[in-house]
Amino acid sequence: MFALLLELTQHVGRHAAGVRAGRWAASRDFCYLETPLLELAGLTFGVIGPGRIGSAAARIAEAFGMRVLTAGRAEGRAGLERVLRAADVVSLHCPLTADTRHLINATTLEWMKPGAFLLNTSRGPLIDEAALAAALHAGRIAGAGLDVLSVEPPPANHPLFGAPNCLITPH
């Protein structure tokens, strides 16, 4: 999960490719940057589903200097909305139930900040993938990092494959 976040915010792969291509060697500065980096310290990390794994993710986020907010079953929709509206990074750690299927959908994506990132290493069907693809294409959120999808392996025409700033790793 944090590897996906670091790639989205620090562009590790892009920088490594630039080094291999000789752009750092050609740089006059010791600090070579392909793109601006987003510092995690000071950002708000939202955990949806603060169970054992979500709590562990929260501790890692705190080690990066992030402020942590959580929302669980007890807070219901109000807690979900509170976290989605405030978080710079939202990380899903929910079981898949009838209540959590498409928990992230067109409506809840609208609650997120335009600069926010969505991470899902929990269950693919927590996200309405067509709605996420539309939000990414519209620039409604900054990016998504997923290692689960609703169908695995995904079909070749999956809507998120062409979405900008969407990193998908195989479950």
Contact 66, 45 (CB under 8 A): yes
Which of 152, 85, 39, 97 shows the shortest CA–CA distance to 169? 152
Give the CA distances from residue 148 to residues 16, 111, 123, in Å, rounded to whole numbers and listed in that order: 25, 22, 6
Rg (CA), the chain: 17
152 is catalytic: yes
Token code pair at residue 53: 């794994």
Instruction: For residues 103 and 101, give the distance between their C-alpha atoms in angstroms, rounded to a whole number.
Output: 5
Crossing angle for the helix pair 12-20 and 2-10, nearest 10 degrees? Answer: 60
**Quick check: is 123 catalytic?**
yes
Q: Select which of 34, 123, 140, 158 is catalytic.
A: 123
Among residues 39, 62, 77, 171, which one is catalytic? 171
Residues with catalytic roles: 123, 152, 171
